[in-house]
Amino acid sequence: MNLILTPFLWFKREFIPFRTLDRYLFFDFFKTFLGTLIMLTSMIVIYKFTDVMKYLVSSKVNQSHVYLHVLYSLPSMVDQVVAPALMFSVCFVIGQFSVNKELVAMMVAGVSFIRIITPILIFGIIIWLVMTLFGQVVVIPANKKAQIEFSIMAKGSNRLIDFVYQLHIKGKKGFYYVYWIDEKDNTIKGGFNYIDITNDGYPTYTVTSQKAKYIPNPHSWILYDAEEVRFNENLELVSRTKYPEKTYDFPEDLAYFSKPIRNPEEMNFFELSDEIESRITKGIPYRNVIVQQHLAFAMPLMSFVVVTLGALAGAITKRSAGVASLGLTIAVVLLYYILNSTAKTLAENGALPIWIGMWMTPVIFTYAAYFLYRRMNI
């Protein structure tokens, strides 16, 4: 029990109430972080507006959809810039303290370097946890709404969006081959073909039609100009019948065909689990969905990693903290994204085990921070 309480007792003894040194360093860092976060987010918002400006002119729908698209994209923008903002802020503040010899004065007074930066490290851990939750609860739902608004804008500009053409997919009881989907009319047009399969893998009947309409209540499908071909156990032709119209109780609904492969980046952790089961049923590869499950926790860890590296890099800054911080931030963040993206691609394609691919980059950078700390001998 004492072992469990020890970290909390240490935290209470060291940080409650907040000491003058901690307030001085942490609030200076926090103000820099907020300013950098707002500045970087504003730059992305401006870029986003210039990118969708064409829809303000060409789209026939209400212009509010353009603004709503940008608004719903805002959480994703914040999520993208948190790590660079943290890296720049901690590197700049610690670097400024180092250049002004304040860091040396603190250490001469008997305060270790680790103790000096502990409030910032704790903040990095908190941001890691917060951004993990933020990504699941806020970013992903907002991205879905942003995509809906974008679809409305694109359709208003006479652009094809959410368009499915010639889809071959496995269902619960058989295989479908459909052409294009009219979601407004709940109809599959141009052709609807189905092969019913037994548990042993043998076909019992096939049906082809020019058009199929889905009826939500009661759940059913109406096939028009349909031709049904039935087989016996020996796969011999039993009957061939044509119907102007016939109702079937296929287990799948229209949504099963309209979005057969959902974007893993638009799903939270629980939806990813459901998507894996759905893809197994449909016979669709799902390795990239498992990768996204790991990424949901591994990517926010970048917040803590860059805080640690930034603090150590800032401590060895000898000249202008601003220039050094900017250069280090660009180099570290760019390298992190390149390695992470490469490892993700290798993991998705089976060249690396998923665990190794998705956690390799955080481990490498954490080890780099530890190696740098040991070399600094502080």
Query: Kind and range of the H or E element at 104?
Result: helix 102-108
pLDDT at residue 162 above 60? no
Q: What is the mean pLDDT of the chain?
A: 82
Sign of CA dihedral 320, 323, 326, 327: negative
Q: What's the confidence (pLDDT) of residue 109?
A: 78
pLDDT band per the 50, 70, 90 thresholds, residue 318: low
Q: What is the mean pLDDT of residues 146-154?
A: 78
Q: How many CB atoms lie within 10 A of CB 173?
A: 15
DSSP state of 172: S
Alpha carbon distance 358, 346 (integer Å): 10
Closest CA to 227 of 245, 213, 251: 245
Q: What's the confidence (pLDDT) of residue 217?
A: 87
110 or 294, which is more confident: 294
Name which of 29-33, 68-72, 182-186, 206-210 the model is least confident about: 182-186
133, with CB counted inside 10 A (0-12, 13-18, 19+), is exposed
pLDDT at residue 38 above 90? yes
pLDDT at residue 317 above 60? yes
Q: What's the confidence (pLDDT) of residue 321?
A: 55
Alpha carbon distance 127, 300 (integer Å): 8
Look-up: residue for tokens 């959410």?
162
pLDDT at residue 216 above 70? yes
CB contact at 8 A, 96 and 321 = yes
Percent of the chain at pLDDT exceeding 70: 85
List all residues 6 or more positions away from 56 whose beta carbon is below 8 Å from its beta carbon: 63, 66
pLDDT at residue 40 above 80? yes
159 or 140, which is more confident: 140
List all residues 6 or more positions away from 320 whose beta carbon is below 8 Å from its beta carbon: 99
Closest CA to 312 of 163, 61, 158, 94: 94
pLDDT digits (tens, 9 = 90+) for 274-290: 888 877 776 677 888 88
Domains and CATH numbers, the chain: 14-157+290-376 (no CATH), 167-258 (2.30.30)
Alpha carbon distance 327, 321 (integer Å): 10
pTM of the complete model beyond 0.85: no
Query: Kind and range of the H or E element at 192?
Result: strand 187-197
245 pairs with which residues across the strands?
A: 224
CB contact at 8 A, 335 and 327 = no
